Amino acid sequence: MKTKFYKYQGAGNDFVLVDNRPDSYRDYFDHQNPDRIAKICDRRFGVGADGMMFLQSHEGFDFEMVYYNADGRPSSMCGNGGRCIVAFAKMLGVIDTETNFLAVDGPHYAKIAESGDWVSLQMINVDHITRDGEAYVLNTGSPHYVALTTGLANKDVYHDGHAIRNNPTYKAQGINVNFVEPDADGYFVRTFERGVENETYACGTGVTAVALAMAQHNQQTGHIVTPINVLGGNLSICFNYDGARFTDIYLEGPAVKVFEGVLEV
């Protein structure tokens, strides 16, 4: 079976996308066949990606986002993936410049520039942040561990992130590990992602978690805009914080089509 696919990236976080509105691929890509998706995401033997997404029809929404990690398994929310699938939906003509779509963590609103390569995605509200020692732990659609550090440019993120993700507290369910260091414009962030089991060039839910954790850390309140620098480029997170609850959270950044092709499945 031949499958048309599209490759997108958001600040270096890259994805294989398939238009599955006809529901043609359910027997080929599902929770029971993770090896097939993992092979497609493999950077040496497949297309290469941090994850794979299917744009599907869903009553009451413009579309549904179904996301799998690079290991082929179903994932929690992916922020950069959400922005990329919005750009994909615009390219397909499914939406114009605004959309309401369904993801694994619920409904999302997004708006996209007329050019189709800059997406602002509303994330879920966050009601609380807990602590693990000096680190912050919270869920922004996916679970995240946020640790302030120094010398981040030279840090062994794979080694340190892998150790935290696989410690007794987090090993069973996994957690995404974000290391953050203040820089001139805001923060520099590097992330070890569960499911990819490696460092990625960007993590949308991760930089969102960092922005919220740093607002609490610095005791900021009100309307906050946080620039984030990642290995793959620049992202921005804006939100409201009243000292107890984070609302109106938007993850903003580029979402760019890289190429398209045909898979022989």
User: CA–CA separation, 213 vs 197, rounded Å?
Assistant: 23
Reading the block at residue 172, the tokens are: 């069973």
Residue 78 a catalytic site member = yes
Residue 238 a catalytic site member = no
211 alpha carbon, distance to own chain's centre = 14
Reading the block at residue 118, the tokens are: 């800059």
Reading the block at residue 59, the tokens are: 């009553």
User: CA–CA separation, 262 vs 254, rounded Å?
Assistant: 25
Q: Please report the DSSP string for 159-219 in residue order.
A: HHHHHHHTSTTTTTT--EEEEEEE-SSSEEEEEEETTTTEEES--HHHHHHHHHHHHHHTT
User: CA–CA separation, 113 vs 128, rounded Å?
Assistant: 32
CB 129 within 8 Å of CB 136 = yes
| DSSP structural state of residue 126 | B
Report helix, strand or coil for 143: strand
Pair type for strands 198-200 and 187-193: antiparallel
| Orientation of helix 204-217 relative to helix 79-92, angle to 10° | 130
**Residues with active-site annotation:** 78, 203
